[in-house]
Structure 1
Amino acid sequence: MADKPSYYEFFAGGGMARAGLGEGWRCLFANDFDRKKAESYRANWGGEALHVGDVREISTAQLPGRADLVWASFPCQDLSLAGAGAGLKGERSGTFWPFWDLMKALRKEGRPPPLIVLENVCGALTSHGGKDFTEICKALAEEDYKFGALVIDAALFVPQSRPRLFIVAAREEVAIPTSLVARNEGLFHTRALLMAYEKLPRRLRDDWLWWSLPAPPSRNATLAQIIEEAPRDVAWHSGAETKALIAMMSDVNLAKIEEAKRAGRKMVGTLYRRTRYQNGAKIQRAEARFDDVAGCLRTPVGGSSRQYVLVVDKGRVRSRLMSARETARLMGLPEDYILPATYNGAYHLAGDGVAVPVVRHIAGHVLEPLLAAMALRDAA
């Protein structure tokens, strides 16, 4: 047990980062302020390492030992392109700063984590014209971390479009194998990331690392495999309800339905209701996709943010809300993961989480090789 690398998991939710890190790691401390999510964490992982409460009220005395890794999927609401734009000054995303105060305090105590991963929406790259991203990089540099970022879409692993930003930081004393860094040409170095990097002051670019990750194997899981015929918690719509959804479609989306009918086979897609502007007025639109990828799961705030399932087969169109277990599958959670008892609770848990196989990919190709290199150096 003691030879396993250890970690603290902040903003832990239902423990999806823990699921991705896997049994080869041991959790020393986990925290989330949401009591309902904490119930799911406890149901799946036990409560020994879990502290439920505001990160602002945590002291370093509550953080045992010295963790090899700190994972922090801090709130995205104020950094999201769909949010109000408060950025790191916002009430939710601004909780990064009390979290970071803890990291600074750990350094003063002589037990800074060698590795830190920060996860958030891609809007963090452009929030306030890139100033919020610069502030995060500055915070890392001032605590003697080298750092780089990756934009990884969960669609490479599961049939859900979910691009997310992962900032991976290593303390200056960590020996970084040359195989783990590359030029800025990787699959996970998007145009938005390159532009954010170019906006950084030179002193921060000097601390930048272009992490090199291999592309994962081609995804095997299809959307059709994830969708259930008879889910327990949601019912298929009546014909009238499905027609009402179709009536909300633009010509472009109606054409997608017709194309699915002509496919000659069962077609499974998804749909979101969105507010759009037409002739200066707000209208509700139903927007569908049949590309074997679900839309990005969101936390359910009103019916418009819940995702629908569409099935087109033999000319017939059926629709319903996506089930709770389906959302869990889209996040890469195992079938035996215990979900909240309520539909909204389960949907919220999934929509606010980090995709499990993405965490595993980062751990397997960056974090674990870094720790192995550290162990070799210490043994020499």
Structure 2
Amino acid sequence: MLLSIESSCDDSSLALTDIASAKLVFHHKISQDSAHSVYGGVVPEIASRLHTKGLPEILAILKGELGDFTRLKAVAITTEPGLSVSLIEGLMMAKLLALSLRIPLIAINHLIGHFYSLFINQCEAIFPMSVLLVSGGHTQIMQARSEEEFLIIAQSLDDSFGESFDKVAKMLSLGYPGGPIIESYASKLSPTTRIHSLPLPLKDKHGFSFSGLKNATRLLIESLSSHDPSKVDSRLKVDSSLNESDKALVCASFQKAAIAHISNQVEKYLKHKNNDGIRDFAIVGGASSNASLRAEIERLCTRFGLRLHLAPLEFCADNAAMIGRAAIPEWQKGIFADSIAQEVSPRSTTNYLHTL
């Protein structure tokens, strides 16, 4: 079996995957949402400290179930991209296990891991495939051409899709993570309620950008706010004087514009790349759990005659199960990292993950 570790941001996670069948044998994750919620976003130093506590706790649970680690054949670890202070905690554990058990270390790119979240418990992955990755740190359209080649077609110029939800939630003092909260508030709005029209970013250009939309949402909040000084949170610098109805209105307006931006860019990609013969399209990443986004991309896939693939909701956010699944092709090809090297990276990105 293969042990995998994920600590790229604020989730401590370990998984155990059977190499031959790709079946997930064990998976456990400790979320840090409550610790970061008061700040309206992830605080790297806090995330790092909590990983030092959470990762050994999960390892102890795993050892209790296994009895020993004699069946382990390799340790897979997320090494990029992510918060450096969080990544290092998982890497140190992975190195220690690999060296002490005398088994190989496999370095995995986090973004490739999200692609393989589609194929947890499945032996065969589908290639080629177009992939929309939407998370707290990334917004990208990729082509998964083979196990050896992932091509980035378009990506965000500033904020990511998920990050923009977090920041709007912070403006409204709604808590963290912002994605599910914004979605919940937006769903409270009556279908007959007229929402505000926010600008569509990069309407005639390729790529993603959410900074302008975020600012437009801030201006909308200010226009609806009473600006009562007693309602201003001095730590977060946001005005929380909006009533629940106005908050729902802001959330619905923002979410509709953000998804319209994603849809517009995906549609342009499908029109341009439709002759490549790629008939499969997927949405992955933590923000891919948004029901409205899924419905919009499903509409586009139906229009263009594509098969839509969705990761199970429990594996949309960062998790070690997807890292373990991504490590199986590396194990099969004997692509291992140096356990004693100071810096550990996935295989050369020259033809593995590159930008068009």
The TM-score range, normalised by the shorter chain, is 0.3 to 0.5
TM-score by length of 1: 0.35
Q: TM-score, normalised by structure 2?
A: 0.36
If asked which structure has higher relative contact order (CA below 8 Å, sep 6+), I would say 2
